[in-house]
Structure 1
């Protein structure tokens, strides 16, 4: 089973105090991140059940590499969380039942845009289908 990492908050901890000595008043407190391991499939299924998602594919007909975005989210530049460049690479997509998806042909939500309704499966994003060739920014809103 694969696991994902989710940073969910922080707790106080004593700095530079050996664990064998009791903590005295006036100790310095520092914020320590809390990491929770969550099974990826479980968290993905819960998020997708809410219906506010879009899945992007690198090839037509829902093939090739894919990127799942859970909303709401605004993507000013088509760079995924691991640094992969998706600019001009989306060729097909699917939207969830509560997703209001807007794509733009330039970064920072500029110029021509296209609204994509919930529950859509678009196997070929091309000018022939009424879309512009390149997606360079997007907004995913939950309805």
Structure 2
């Protein structure tokens, strides 16, 4: 549940962009029409976030806290025994996404709506443009490192 929550949490900050991966039906949804309907209904409330503009409020600490609290509340009603794991996963994924976007030249408005100032985790020369070869290399290195640590801890 922690991994599933982290995966979902990593997609949620980009719900403010119409073409975002959060709005795409997954393979299971495409194969089973009842799941397709459920998926579309579940995504419907997120559509309003498109009005906020990309990398705005959804990339802030306030949004991170609100989404985590909402995930915990929802999970508490659906699967109470796993609510903490789901909420922790959402928090980890959401924070990872915001932190990654804070490493780009555009940064993130971390303290929105109190401040529109964009924050960065890296100095200007080290910032990684989205969609660049550097981004792919960093993502591959981080993925490889995560897999290696997971295998070491599991073994």
Whose helix fraction is larger, Structure 1's or Structure 2's? 2
More strand by share: 1
Bigger Cα Rg:
1
TM-score (norm 1): 0.23
TM-score (norm 2): 0.22
